[in-house]
Chains A and B, each alone.
Chain A
Amino acid sequence: MTTHQLEHPAGTAQSIAAIGLRSVTKDFGDVHAVRGIDLAIQPGEIVAFLGPNGAGKTTTIDLILGLSQPTSGDVEVLGFRPREAIARGLVSAVMQTGGLLKDLTVRETVEYTASLFADTQPVADVLEHAGITGIADRKVGKCSGGEQQRLRFAMALLSDPALLLLDEPTTGMDVEGRRAFWSAIRQDAAKGRTVLFATHYLEEADQYADRIVLISSGRIVADGSGSEVKAMAAGRTVRATLPGADTDRIGRIPGVDGLEVRGDTILVHARDTDAVARFLLTETGARDLEIAARGIEEAFLTLTGDHAASTDDTERTNR
């Protein structure tokens, strides 16, 4: 797996990382939810935090928000401790559910939240921007799910945060809503706002993020641009029986991404499987050759699943 760091555009290279995690671990009793994460995210990046349920995404987000303390390691947000960054209105988060009082009106909810910050955008502007001016006097409990989600965004954008964390942001949105949502997020990112969103859809991560951080069993298993991760996930697998395979030689075939030996069986993952097949059939004694395509989701499961199988996966039961 590649570990790739996006180069930040020259000129802003001296700026502080939006998120800096150094050797961060988090245990809940015997459960190791996060097992050592190093991550640096630059201002203005849109990063997808991709992984199956229980991978440690939510725990890591809680650490970045200062809602819990790491067992070991260091968490820094825009050069501050997480709580200090929150106190300055630099970090906001939008959760999927909850977090609203049903008996307040939409406007009261925004006013209430605004009053807790030192500086915020004017409440009226924020309501307008989120498209909820028309329902400002409606009780939150009487708002639809979509309206409540827009309210959560209004609250999150009040303090003009430099870092926005989103937990499964487009769950329940239709295609049109999803597109409008991401175009708004892109505009904000262009002004230097960093966005980290958790998702378990590779498609969404690929489509909207500059960079995908793949997490599994509390560790980063892949970190790169959408096309890089997709390349890993795309391609086909050649499977053949070949006792005593020369893995070094096969690995040098152009286009080979991965290679696995299971007893007498060899599995080669490659973008150009024809070349691999030709090589195996002409240069080696391989037989029973099969070529299988795999879907993106399946590939993603393989990427994360392989890793989980190679470590003890006690936390999968609990998180």
Chain B
Amino acid sequence: MTTTTIDPTTRRVPPMGGFNLTVLRIELKRMLRNRRTIIFTLLFPAAMFFAFGSGDDWNEAVGEGNVAAYIMTSMALYGAALTAAAGGAMVALERALGWSRQLRLTPLNPAVYILMKALLALVLGAVAIATVNVAGIVQGKPSMPLHVWIECGVLTLVCTMVFAALGVFVGYLVPGENAMQILGPGLALLSFLGNVFIPIDEDSMMWHVASFTPMFGVAEISRAPLTQDLPWYAVLNAVVWFAVFVAGAAWRMSKDTARV
């Protein structure tokens, strides 16, 4: 503590609205030591890949690569979507806990807070995607050109933003720490419905239903570099669901009139 009186004019404002790496480091550590996050977002998708990626047809050709590569990309999307949703749900939880209000008593700019959360979701999404891809490399079955491999990974990462918005939305709808209990099984169900876990026969009744569910569009986009096929309705699906989730999150946030 200082011994002289406090002179307000000597005080500085932090650069970049309070953006800093210490917060990112602590937040990352915080997420990685959460056992549930590790199991559901990193181990589970990799396990699903081993389960589904070793069928008899693993080496059949799909676009630029094979079936194993197709399944690996799908599972990476599932894992990344889960991490993003978990990150989104955290925003609502921190608000409920009064942490956001605590942060408002610091120089941290609220926009910078959201930016750091989004960055964190991207970093964790990348970790989830990398985990499944490393599992694929270790297993040795997936095959596609390196540039396709990278393109799929990057597109998957971009697509996970849809689920970050969903996470914020659900986080506000389900108070407390139960949001992940809904998001976990919910995203698994959407993945089954959305042609992510098990391929659905095209033009079947099931397939028509699937094409309207939120996982369908982003899955088609994530695999597009591999399949060399991107139907317009898949893009429309992704855009519409993203808009729905962002609108839902914004709506719940504005309804939340609790003191910041």
Specify the chain B residue showing the minimal Cβ separation from A114.
B22
A98 within 8 A of B: yes
Docked Cα-Cα span, A101 to B104, in Å, equals 15
Specify which chain A residues have a CB less than 8 angstroms from the CB of B147 in the assembled complex. none
A170 within 8 A of B: no
In this complex, the member of B6, B18, B20 whose beta carbon has the largest number of chain A beta carbons within 10 angstroms is B6
How far does the Cβ of B120 sit from chain A's closest Cβ, in whole Å? 13
User: When each residue 284-311 of chain A gets 1 if its CB lies under 8 Å from chain B and 0 otherwise, what string results?
Assistant: 0000000000000000000000000000
Tell whether, in the assembled complex, residue B98 and residue A98 are in contact, meaning their CB atoms are under 8 Å apart.
yes
Specify the chain A residue showing the minimal Cβ separation from B13.
A87
Tell whether, in the assembled complex, residue A89 and residue B107 are in contact, meaning their CB atoms are under 8 Å apart.
yes
Given the interface pairs A79-B8, A98-B101, the reply to whether A112 lies near B26 with Cβ below 8 Å is: yes
Specify which chain A residues have a CB less than 8 angstroms from the CB of B108 in the assembled complex. 116
B255 within 8 A of A: no
Tell whether, in the assembled complex, residue A192 and residue B5 are in contact, meaning their CB atoms are under 8 Å apart.
yes
Instruction: Name the interface residues of B72-105: CB closer than 8 Å to any CB of A.
Output: 94, 97-99, 101-105
Specify which chain B residues have a CB less than 8 angstroms from the CB of A85 in the assembled complex. 8
Partner of B104, one of A16, A67, A115, A160: A67
Tell whether, in the assembled complex, residue A112 and residue B12 are in contact, meaning their CB atoms are under 8 Å apart.
no
A93 within 8 A of B: yes
Kindly count the residue-residue contacts between A and B in the assembled complex, taking CB atoms under 8 Å apart: 122
Given the interface pairs A101-B99, A129-B1, the reply to whether A191 lies near B6 with Cβ below 8 Å is: yes
Specify which chain B residues have a CB less than 8 angstroms from the CB of A102 in the assembled complex. 97
User: When each residue 144-171 of chain A gets 1 if its CB lies under 8 Å from chain B and 0 otherwise, what string results?
Assistant: 0000000000010100111000000000
Partner of A97, one of B13, B34, B98, B106: B98
A263 within 8 A of B: no
Partner of A101, one of B4, B12, B97, B259: B97
Tell whether, in the assembled complex, residue A88 and residue B6 are in contact, meaning their CB atoms are under 8 Å apart.
no
Tell whether, in the assembled complex, residue B99 and residue A193 are in contact, meaning their CB atoms are under 8 Å apart.
no
How far does the Cβ of B41 sit from chain A's closest Cβ, in whole Å? 16
User: When each residue 1-33 of chain B gets 1 if its CB lies under 8 Å from chain A and 0 otherwise, what string results?
Assistant: 111111010011111001010110010011000
A203 within 8 A of B: no
Docked Cα-Cα span, A115 to B23, in Å, equals 7
B260 within 8 A of A: yes
A275 within 8 A of B: no
A265 within 8 A of B: no
Tell whether, in the assembled complex, residue B6 and residue A113 are in contact, meaning their CB atoms are under 8 Å apart.
no
Tell whether, in the assembled complex, residue A119 and residue B12 are in contact, meaning their CB atoms are under 8 Å apart.
yes
Docked Cα-Cα span, A192 to B22, in Å, equals 31
A218 within 8 A of B: no
Tell whether, in the assembled complex, residue B5 and residue A86 are in contact, meaning their CB atoms are under 8 Å apart.
no
Specify which chain A residues have a CB less than 8 angstroms from the CB of B30 in the assembled complex. 101, 103-104, 108
Docked Cα-Cα span, A98 to B108, in Å, equals 18
Docked Cα-Cα span, A47 to B39, in Å, equals 52
Instruction: Name the interface residues of A90-144: CB closer than 8 Å to any CB of B.
Output: 90-93, 95, 97-104, 108, 111-119, 121, 125, 129
Instruction: Name the interface residues of B91-142: CB closer than 8 Å to any CB of A.
Output: 94, 97-99, 101-108
20 of the cross-chain contacts (CB-CB < 8 Å) are: A78-B8, A79-B8, A80-B8, A84-B13, A89-B107, A95-B98, A97-B98, A98-B97, A98-B98, A98-B101, A99-B98, A99-B102, A103-B34, A108-B29, A116-B103, A116-B106, A116-B108, A117-B107, A160-B2, A161-B6
Q: A115-B20, A117-B106, A191-B6 are in contact. List 13 more A-B contacts (CB 8 A).
A: A67-B104, A88-B107, A89-B107, A90-B8, A98-B101, A99-B101, A101-B97, A108-B29, A111-B26, A117-B18, A118-B107, A157-B1, A162-B8
Which 3 residue pairs of A and B lie closest in terms of their CB atoms, listed nearest first? A98-B98, A192-B5, A115-B22
Q: B residues bordering A, Cβ < 8 Å?
A: 1-6, 8, 11-15, 18, 20, 22-23, 26, 29-30, 34, 94, 97-99, 101-108, 259-260
